Every structure is written in structure tokens, then in C-alpha cells.
């Protein structure tokens, strides 16, 4: 089947007489119109399937995905005919992007297999969204992910933490056979459009050869790893004070449930346990949000006002009537936050179950960053309406969050004062590092695992074991209770259940500081990176807007250059931002046995 298909591809790719330029242009016009029509249909079904999980909405999104998948793989095959046709650079770039579309995953041409893949993908997402933990005998009070995440964030009780941690992971067990099948089917789809496997397709989206991209991740992580190791060392020593040497041993990895987060991916919730100078500076934004009875709309309006302060336009009226900002009481939804442009023409929405926490205030800015990007590139052909690369998309809102300084929080009434002495700076930096630095190894290992799974280097009988090997190696953490191949812990993370690539968040982790540095310079704010702010700068808004409007029309180094004058991803901005904390940590951990 594959061999004959490849042959068919080769023949189609090289017609004796290449189609004319006019034929090529007609093909591109059809491609754009059909892609837009099917994508809008898919996004509409996807929106209801995630804001109203039922058997029927799963079916609807499955069908819409099937149609889009069929169109995508057929169009890639057809596009090969135009290899020698004289097409303009924008058309060539659209054809490149066409082959790189990875949501939905590439599907086999065989309609039965395609239907199976679409239905499995919908089922995996729904399993995640509906997941509940009802206690060991199944008869306890059932808690959803949001409730279990609250336990992870707030509890300091070992057993309670283990229960929430392991309880949520039971949700992923039934995903295992579905996941395995999904890998096989989407790999088949990827091979039919000329990739070795899905992982190679994912790594191909960065204007460099896929092997070079894997090396690029290693390069960036290699430069940041020492900073993570310092943080790990310090946090471990403070957790050891709290939980004892028997539970948090010297030189050992940290038990995963102690870091304030279901996936140990960011650690800001243990800030109170590790604060360098207790009582110095007010940092409790969550308490102020709760006390001030901030509701979801107010939080989003506050986010919007950051963007409008830079001269960007307000959100359209329909955003406020069509978004889902709070968790509905009467139906199952996917709470994992996301931002949408359903029709590629300003039908912007956010889907999120907002709570009055600092985490969620940050996520609101993150999501609005997506929406402002989407709106800025709306004039482009549909296939170019996406980020310069996917890490850009994830970095936009977060880059602005770096300008949410204590002074700005005071302006919003969320902090009483912005203490500026050295100790307050170290405290504030620690909080930020728990979020940003702790996140780096997690965001690398997510796709390291999947690249290996898709490439067949990790076989299904080692799905869980290999996951924890990577967590030990990259993050220096261990599961609190024994795991086995009856578990499927990777599936307890949204992006794995839903097939969303993750390297983008690692890249964003680096890029957001680079954007911040560039924007502070444009704003003429010459203070150190951890204090400078671009809030209110119209000039930054203009330059930022120019980069956003480029979408994916040019290779990403061009977009980066438009804002920063730089053409490489550069971790030095992040290192510079955290310079005060790095110095403090070096001092504090001197003579300690670090590492694991």
C-alpha cells in the first residue's frame, strides 16, 4: 500500500509537462478557499466539542476532522504536480505550511483508517476533559482536574498530595491502547506525505532541517541548564527542611508531588515554602484578587487594557459574548485554556475556566497574546495565518507579562507596595524563576518523549518507564509511588492526550525574554531587564504589531529580526533577566552538594 502510494506520489509529482503558471495560481486560489472553509467548519465543531462534551459533539468534531484530514493529505499530493511551475514566493511558502499542518494529525489516505484516527483523537481529548478521581474505592467525592490541581497547589500534606497526584493519573490509564493506535495511524499518514514519522513532521516546522532543530533545542537547553540546576538545588534544600531528609534526600531527585503543580512543570505555588526573605515585599496577588472579588471578565478586561495601552485595538464585541470564561456548572468542558479565531476574520474567543488566581491572570495575558497575533495576521492567505513558528505564538502574551512589574500591580490595586530593596528583588525573582526556570526541562522532555515514541525508539511496553527516565534526567524528579506499564502517565498531561506539540513552549520560554529585551530597548527603558516595562509604549505596540502581522509569511528569523534585529534564538536575555537571582543562588548554594 505504502509503496504503491509513494510511486503514485512520485508520478504525480513529475508530470511530463508541468502545469502552467495560470493553472498554479488557480490551484492556490482553490486551496486557500477550501482550506479556510474546512478549517472554519472544523473549528466550529471543535469549539462545541470542547465547551460541551457529549457523544454527539465528539462525533461532529470527528467528522469535521476527517474532512479536513482528507483535504490536507490530498492537497499535499496534488501540490506535488506544481513542483516545476513558476509560483510566487508566497504560494511556495503556503505549500510548505500545508505539509506541516499537524493539528489535526496527518492521516492515512485509507478512509477507514482516517475515520478511526479522527475518532480516537476526539476520544482521547474527551477522556482527559471528563476525567475525575473518586477515591481508591471509587466511592469517594469525585474531583475534577481543577479541584485536584488546587490540592497540588495548596496542600503541604504528603499523603493528600500523593492521593491527588496518583488519583489524577488513573484518568490516563484507559488512554494507553488508544494512544498506541493513534501513533501508528498518524505515522502512516506522515509517511504518505513524505516524512519518516510524525516527530519528523513536527521538527520540520522551523525553517531548518529537522536534525538541526533537535540540535538547536539541545543548544538552548544546554545554556540554561546550569541555572535550572541551581534552582533545583536550592528548592530541594528548602523542601528538605519541610518534609525531612528521609523523604527529600540529599543529592536525590525531588518527589514530583511536592512542587505545587500536577506535572511539576512550574513551581510558583511552593513560593511560600522557599521564599528567600519571608515577610519582605508583598507578592500575594492571588489574595488581593480573592479579597477584591475579581471576576473572570474583570481579569480579561485588565489583560485587554495592557494591549490597548500599547495602541493595539480593543477586542471585538463578539469576543465577550462568545468566549467561555468560567466553568459552566451543568456540563462537561475542557478547561485547559486556549485562544481561538474561529473564522480567520475576527471571531476571536478564549476558552478558559478562570479562577481569581495570579496563575490565571498570567494565563489570561498568554491567551490574549494568541488572539492579538491572530487578529494582526488576518490579512494573509489562510495557510500563512499562523505564528512565525509555533514558539512565537506562545511567547507573545508571556513577553508582555514580563512587563507586569510590581509597580503595575500596585496601579491595578493588586499589591499594596512595590518594595525595591535588594531582598525584595530576590524574592520577586525567585517567584518568577519558579515559574519560568522550573518549566524549561519539562518543556523539553515532553517532545523528547514523543519524538522517540513516534520514531519507534520507545516501544509501547516502555511508555511509562521511559517517561520517568526522562523526568529523572531532565527535571530531577521522581514519582512518589511506584509506576508500571499499567499506567500511562504521559496521557495525564493535556497536550499528550490531545496531540498538541510542546517544544513550542520551550522555545517561547527563551523567546519571551528576547522579545522583552528588544521591546524595552525600543521603549527606551534602560533599566535592568527584570525591572523595565513596556506597558503603555505606543512605539513598541507599533513594532510589535509589525512582527505579528507577518504571521508565517517569512522564515521566522526575519520576524525576529523585525522586532529585535537578531536572527537567532538567544538564551542570554533570560540569563540576563535572572542575573540578580543567579548571583544570589550561587552564593546560597556554595558548598552544597547539588545535582541528582
Q: Which of 200, 358, 367, 436 is catalytic?
A: 367
Question: Which residues inside 88-147 make contact with ligand X8Z, applying CB under 6 A?
Answer: none
Q: Which one is catalytic: 232, 370, 389, 530?
A: 370
Q: Which of 495, 549, 561, 566 is catalytic?
A: 495
From the list ligand X8Z, Zn ion, none, which binds 564 (C-beta under 5 to 8 Å, kind-based)? none
Joined together, the cell numbers standing for residue 111 give 478512509
363, interface contact from ligand X8Z, Zn ion, none, CB < 5-8 Å by kind: ligand X8Z
Q: Is 495 among the catalytic positions? A: yes
Binder of residue 505, out of Zn ion, ligand X8Z, none (CB less than 5 to 8 A by kind): ligand X8Z
Cα–Cα distance measured from residue 463 to residue 458, given in angstroms and rounded to the nearest whole number: 7
Long-range contacts of 233-236 (CB under 8 A, 24+ apart): 233/585, 233/589, 233/592, 233/594, 233/595, 234/274, 234/585, 234/588, 234/589, 235/259, 235/267, 235/270, 235/274, 235/434, 235/438
| Alpha carbon distances (Å) from 214 to 102, 208, 228, 503 | 18, 10, 20, 10
Instruction: Return the residue nearest Zn ion (CB atom).
Output: 394
| Shortest Cβ 102–Zn ion spacing (Å) | 15
In the complex, minimum distance from the CB of residue 326 to ligand X8Z, in angstroms, rounded to a whole number: 16
In the set 366, 389, 516, 530, the catalytic residue is: 366
- Give the one entry of Zn ion, ligand X8Z, none that residue 385 binds, where binding means its C-beta sits below a cut-off of 5 to 8 angstroms depending on kind: none
Q: What is the DSSP letter of 475?
A: I
Q: How many other C-beta atoms are found inside a 10 Å radius of the C-beta of residue 257?
A: 26
Residues that bind Zn ion (CB under 5 A): 394
> For residue 73, what are the contacts with CB-CB under 8 A and spacing of at least 6?
106, 107, 108, 109, 189, 192, 193
CB of 63 to ligand X8Z, least distance (A): 25
Is 337 an active-site residue? yes
Query: For Zn ion, which is the closer residue by CB, 183 or 507?
Result: 507
DSSP assignment of 188-248, as one string? Answer: HHHHHTT-SSHHHHHHTSSSS-HHHHHHHHHHHHHHHHHHHHHHHHHHHHHHHHHH-TTTS
CA 56/CA 53 separation, integer angstroms: 8
State the DSSP string of 22-66.
Answer: HHHHHHHHHHHHHHHHHHHHHHHHHHHHHHS--HHHHHHHHHHHH
Q: Which of 116, 505, 518, 552 is catalytic?
A: 505
CA dihedral 488, 494, 496, 497 (to 10 degrees): 70
Q: Which of 337, 418, 419, 549 is catalytic?
A: 337
Residues of span 256-275 touching ligand X8Z by CB under 6 A:
265
Residue whose CB is less far from ligand X8Z, 192 or 447: 447
Spatial separation of the C-alpha atoms in residues 66 and 114, rounded to whole Å? 6
The closest residue (CB) to ligand X8Z is 337
For ligand X8Z, how many residues bind (rule: CB under 6 A)?
6
Does 363 contact ligand X8Z by CB under 6 A? yes
Q: Interface with ligand X8Z includes 338 (CB under 6 A)?
A: yes
Q: Which is nearer to ligand X8Z, 265 or 429 (CB)?
A: 265
For residue 425, the Cα-to-chain-centroid distance in whole angstroms is 28
With CB under 5 to 8 Å by kind, the binding choice for 466 among Zn ion, ligand X8Z, none is: none
Binding partner at 187 among ligand X8Z, Zn ion, none, C-beta below 5 to 8 Å by kind: none
User: From ligand X8Z, Zn ion, none, which one binds at residue 338 (CB under 5 to 8 Å depending on kind)?
Assistant: ligand X8Z
- Beta carbon of residue 306, minimum distance to ligand X8Z (angstroms, whole number): 17
Q: Kindly state the cell numbers that stand for 2.
A: 505504502
Residue that is written with C-alpha cell 542575573 in the block: 579
**Catalytic residue list contains 530:** no
- Minimum Å distance from CB 252 to ligand X8Z? 26
- Asked whether position 337 contacts ligand X8Z by CB under 6 A, the answer is yes
CB 258 within 8 A of CB 239: yes
Q: Which is nearer to ligand X8Z, 381 or 391 (CB)?
A: 391
Catalytic annotation on 516? Answer: no
Using CB under 6 A, which residues numbered 505 to 534 contact ligand X8Z? 505
| Catalytic residue of the set 45, 228, 336, 339 | 336
CB of 167 to ligand X8Z, least distance (A): 19
Verify binding: residue 344, ligand X8Z, rule CB under 6 A. no
Comparing CB distances to ligand X8Z, the nearer of 196 and 302 is: 302
Residue pair 335/146 in contact by the 8 Å Cβ criterion: yes
192 vs 304 by CB, closer to Zn ion: 304
* Cα of 435 vs its chain's centroid, Å: 14
Let me know: does 58 contact 347? Beta carbons within 8 Å: no
Q: Is-catalytic flag, 366?
A: yes
Radius of gyration in angstroms for the set of CA atoms belonging to the chain, rounded to a whole number: 24
What span, in angstroms and rounded, lies between the C-alpha atoms of 168 and 131? 8
Measured from the CB of residue 347, what is the shortest distance to Zn ion in angstroms? 18
**Residue of 66, 394, 435, 436 marked catalytic:** 394
Q: Least separation, in Å, of the C-beta of 179 and ligand X8Z?
A: 18
Between 200 and 394, CB nearer to Zn ion: 394
475 forms part of the interface with ligand X8Z (CB under 6 A): no
51 binds, among ligand X8Z, Zn ion, none (CB under 5 to 8 A by kind): none
Is the torsion defined by CA of 330, 331, 336, 338 positive or negative? Answer: negative
- Residues 88, 94, 95, CA angle at the centre, nearest 5°? 95
Gap between the Cα atoms of 268 and 70, Å rounded: 43
Task: Give least dist CB 370 to Zn ion, A.
Answer: 6
User: Where do contacts with ligand X8Z occur on this chain (CB under 6 A)?
Assistant: 265, 337-338, 363, 366, 505
The catalytic residue positions are 336-337, 366-367, 370, 394, 495, 505
Amino acid at each position: 500500500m505504502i509503496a504503491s502510494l509513494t510511486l503514485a506520489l512520485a508520478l504525480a509529482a513529475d508530470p511530463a509537462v508541468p502545469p502552467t503558471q495560470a493553472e498554479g495560481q488557480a490551484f492556490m486560489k482553490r486551496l486557500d478557499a477550501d482550506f479556510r472553509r474546512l478549517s472554519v467548519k472544523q473549528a466550529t465543531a471543535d469549539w462545541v466539542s470542547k465547551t460541551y462534551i457529549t457523544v454527539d459533539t465528539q462525533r461532529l468534531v470527528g467528522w469535521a476532522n476527517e474532512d479536513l484530514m482528507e483535504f490536507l493529505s490530498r492537497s499535499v499530493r496534488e501540490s506535488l504536480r506544481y513542483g516545476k511551475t513558476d509560483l510566487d514566493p508566497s504560494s511556495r511558502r503556503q505549500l510548505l505550511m500545508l505539509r506541516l499542518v499537524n493539528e489535526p494529525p496527518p492521516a492515512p489516505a485509507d478512509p477507514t483508517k482516517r475515520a478511526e484516527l479522527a475518532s480516537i483523537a476526539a476520544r482521547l481529548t474527551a477522556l482527559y476533559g471528563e476525567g475525575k478521581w473518586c477515591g481508591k474505592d471509587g466511592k469517594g467525592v469525585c474531583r475534577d482536574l481543577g479541584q485536584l490541581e488546587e490540592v497540588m497547589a495548596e496542600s503541604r500534606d504528603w499523603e493528600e498530595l500523593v492521593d491527588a497526584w496518583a488519583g489524577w493519573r488513573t484518568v490516563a490509564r484507559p488512554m494507553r491502547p488508544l494512544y498506541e493506535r493513534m501513533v501508528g495511524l498518524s505515522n502512516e499518514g506522515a509517511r504518505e506525505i513524505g516524512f519518516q514519522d510524525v516527530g519528523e513532521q513536527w521538527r520540520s516546522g522551523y525553517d531548518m532541517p529537522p536534525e538541526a532543530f533537535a540540535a538547536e533545542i539541545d543548544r538552548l537547553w544546554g545554556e540554561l541548564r546550569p541555572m535550572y540546576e541551581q534552582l533545583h538545588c536550592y528548592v530541594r534544600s528548602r523542601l528538605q527542611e519541610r518534609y525531612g531528609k528521609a523523604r527529600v534526600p540529599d543529592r536525590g531527585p525531588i518527589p514530583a508531588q511536592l512542587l505545587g503543580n500536577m506535572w511539576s512543570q512550574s513551581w510558583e505555588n511552593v513560593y511560600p515554602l522557599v521564599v528567600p526573605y519571608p515577610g519582605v515585599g508583598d507578592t500575594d496577588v492571588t489574595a488581593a484578587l480573592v479579597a477584591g472579588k475579581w471576576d473572570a471578565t474583570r481579569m480579561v478586561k485588565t489583560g485587554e487594557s495592557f494591549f490597548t495601552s500599547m495602541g493595539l485595538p480593543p477586542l471585538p464585541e463578539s469576543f465577550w459574548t462568545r468566549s467561555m470564561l468560567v466553568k459552566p456548572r451543568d456540563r462537561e468542558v475542557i478547561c485547559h485554556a486556549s485562544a481561538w479565531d474561529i473564522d480567520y476574520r475576527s471571531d476571536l474567543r478564549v476558552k478558559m475556566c478562570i479562577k481569581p488566581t495570579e496563575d490565571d491572570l498570567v494565563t489570561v495575558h498568554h491567551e490574549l497574546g494568541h488572539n492579538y497575533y491572530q487578529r494582526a495576521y488576518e490579512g494573509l492567505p489562510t495557510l500563512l495565518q499562523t505564528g512565525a513558528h509555533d514558539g512565537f505564538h506562545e511567547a507573545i502574551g508571556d513577553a508582555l507579562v514580563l512587563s507586569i512589574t510590581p509597580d503595575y500591580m500596585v496601579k491595578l490595586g493588586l499589591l499594596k507596595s512595590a518594595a525595591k530593596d535588594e531582598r525584595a528583588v530576590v524574592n520577586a525573582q525567585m517567584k518568577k524563576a519558579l515559574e519560568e526556570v522550573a518549566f524549561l526541562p519539562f518543556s523539553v522532555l515532553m517532545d523528547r518523549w514523543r519524538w522517540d515514541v513516534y520514531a519507534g525508539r520507545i516501544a509501547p511496553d516502555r511508555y511509562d518507564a521511559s517517561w520517568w527516565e526522562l523526568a529523572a534526567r531532565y527535571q530531577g524528579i521522581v514519582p512518589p509511588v511506584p509506576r508500571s506499564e499499567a499506567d500511562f502517565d504521559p496521557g495525564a498531561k493535556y497536550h499528550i492526550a490531545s496531540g498538541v506539540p510542546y517544544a513550542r513552549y520551550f522555545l517561547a520560554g527563551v523567546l519571551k525574554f528576547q522579545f522583552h529585551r528588544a521591546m524595552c530597548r525600543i521603549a527606551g527603558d534602560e533599566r535592568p531587564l527584570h525591572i523595565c516595562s513596556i506597558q503603555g509604549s505606543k512605539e513598541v505596540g507599533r513594532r510589535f504589531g509589525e512582527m505579528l502581522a507577518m504571521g508565517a509569511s517569512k522564515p521566522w528569523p526575519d520576524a525576529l529580526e523585525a522586532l529585535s534585529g537578531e536572527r537567532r534564538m538567544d538564551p542570554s536575555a533570560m540569563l540576563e533577566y535572572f542575573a540578580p537571582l543567579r548571583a544570589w543562588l550561587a552564593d546560597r548554594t556554595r558548598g552544597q552538594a547539588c545535582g541528582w
